[in-house]
Each structure stands twice: as C-alpha cells, then as structure tokens.
Structure 1
C-alpha cells in the first residue's frame, strides 16, 4: 500500500499593488519574503532561509516573518558591489 499523494501544492500568497520599499509609505510597510524578493537579488525561498538562519534583520510578530521597506533597502545596499575605483597616480617627484 502506498501513501496518498497531496492533491494541492501550497503557493505563497503575494498581495497586489504593493508600495515600493524606497517610497515613504513603503519604508514602514511589512512585506512577506516572497513579496520582498521582487526588489532584492534573492528569491523568496532564499530570503525565507536567510530569516530562519537569522542572517538578515526581519520583523517577527509571533507567527510570521516580515521585512520592512527600510530593511529591504538596507539589504540591497549590503549586497551591492560597487565598481573598483582606481587611486590617482602619484606625481613624479
């Protein structure tokens, strides 16, 4: 006898018409990890795993984990690689 197969797959709920994190209303808005993935270089699953490993700042309300817009902006800044700037050549003495 085999185990019954699941009839449905669980999809993360993603709300529509979310404010962008860098806008004034988005800075304090609470985004779910799969919603925040749109503005980060990570997938929703990666963000969820980073929250579980406590590698990034997040908001926990006792049941769910969220990222505020300010945390998303800080996360993007943290993982942004700037181009290398050459130092000016020394003047010949």
Structure 2
C-alpha cells in the first residue's frame, strides 16, 4: 500500500499590473493621484505586498473606493518621511 500523492492545490495569481508613466508623488499632479500599493512601492522602503498587508491591518492611511485600496501621492510622501532617519544634531556647547 502506498501513500496518496500530494498535489499542489495552490492557485497561482498573475503578477499585479503596474501602470507606466506615473507622476511622482512629490509633484503637484502626483499629490492627489491614486497609486495601487504595488505602484507606490517604488517610492517607499516597502514592497507592494507589505504595503497591502499594512493597509489590511490599518497601519497606514489609504483611500478605499468601494472595491480597491489606493495611496495618494501625499500619503506616500508622508509614509516615506515617517521612515526616514534624521541625522543626529550635536547639542550646542555652552561657553563657560
């Protein structure tokens, strides 16, 4: 008697589509443009899947249009600034 054969039942999903010629989030036209998490990933330190998970856990602000989740350019800039480490400023020495 042999063991039943394992079958791969996982469904492969197609790669998410990323539009071309997107405006940069820092530009005036990009501030209110809606980016998918996979499109926004190129301007953040996170992958598209990580951004999708952060949206699902409500860790970051996003736009919901009734079907899909989007990030505006302003939200992308704020997220990138929040993750940026500022250089340390030495305290001013006082003259004694």
Q: TM-score, normalised by structure 1?
A: 0.89
Given the alignment, which residue of 31, 36, 40 partners 1:32? 36
Q: TM-score, normalised by structure 2?
A: 0.87
CA deviation map 1:35-87 (0-9, x unaligned): 00000111111101110000000001111100000100111111111010001
1:62 aligned onto 2:85: no
Q: Which sections of structure 2, spanning at least 5 residues, go unmatched?
A: none
Indicate the structure (1 or 2) with the bigger Cα radius of gyration.
2
Given the alignment, which residue of 85, 88, 93 partners 1:89? 93
Runs of 4+ in 1 over 2 A off after TM superposition: 1-9
- State how far apart, in whole Å, the 2-side matches of 1:60 and 1:7 are: 26
Q: CA RMSD in A?
A: 1.7
Q: Which sections of structure 1, spanning at least 5 residues, go unmatched?
A: none
1:15 aligned onto 2:7: no
Quick one: structure 1 residues 56 and 87, their matched pair in 2 at CA, closer, same or farther if it must change by over 3 Å? same
